[in-house]
Amino acid sequence: MKITLETKPLKEMRYPTAGDYFLQREVLSASDLSTIRIRWIPVYYGEHPAVGREAFYMPYIEQQVPHWQFQVIDLGNDDYEFLIFIHELIEWRLTQKHGVAEEDITAFDKQHLDTNEPGYLKEAPYHKEHMAAEAIERMVATLLGVEWNDYEEAINKKFEELENDTTNQK
């Protein structure tokens, strides 16, 4: 498995959210061999007088290693960004373990853009996993010495800035 983390401005996220995760679906390039498993198989062609059958080996892509992409908004504070990542990582693993599809989570979130935190809604397909992830996120915040209210305020400020940018462009 491959997991990458990227911080991005809120306006560059897939949709307005502090953190996001998804299975990276990209065309493989020769430079990204870390995401595939290759098995070399012999291919026989004809006879050679000295050695019998001639063979060469060709690569066979056996399995693509899943590449999960995690994105968090750029808050200009490593601790805050780490907390969002911890939340997303815990939520992702729990939803994977409990059979909640990432596509269902994304669809639900996009249907509830008017809600500050769709995972709080009891009908969210990932509600239990979201709440567990927040509990762990709060524990880690305490261990990092992060004041929860300051952290939430920093996130809310980014959403207000995005809303103001959107309003000013109209």
- pTM score: 0.78
Instruction: Write down the domain spans for the chain.
Output: 33-64, 74-169
Tokens of 51: 């050695």
Contact 102, 37 (CB under 8 A): no
pLDDT confidence bin for 34, thresholds 50/70/90: low
In this predicted structure, which of 22-36, 133-147, 156-170 has the lowest mean pLDDT?
Answer: 22-36
- Of 42 and 136, the structure prediction assigns the larger pLDDT to 136
In this prediction, residue 21 carries a pLDDT of 95
Please give the distance of CA 149 from its chain centroid, rounded to a whole number: 25
pLDDT at 54 over 90: no
In this predicted structure, which of 75-79, 87-91, 154-158, 161-165 has the lowest mean pLDDT?
Answer: 161-165
Contact 115, 124 (CB under 8 A): no
pLDDT at 27 over 90: no
Contacting residues for 98 by C-beta, under 8 A, at least 6 apart: 128, 129
Average pLDDT for 88-95: 97
User: Smallest Cα–Cα separation from 11: which of 166, 167, 170?
Assistant: 166
The tens digit of pLDDT for each residue in 109-138 reads 999 999 989 999 999 999 999 999 999 999
In this prediction, residue 64 carries a pLDDT of 66
Q: What are phi and psi of 154, to 5 degrees?
A: -65, -40
Tokens of 144: 């990092």
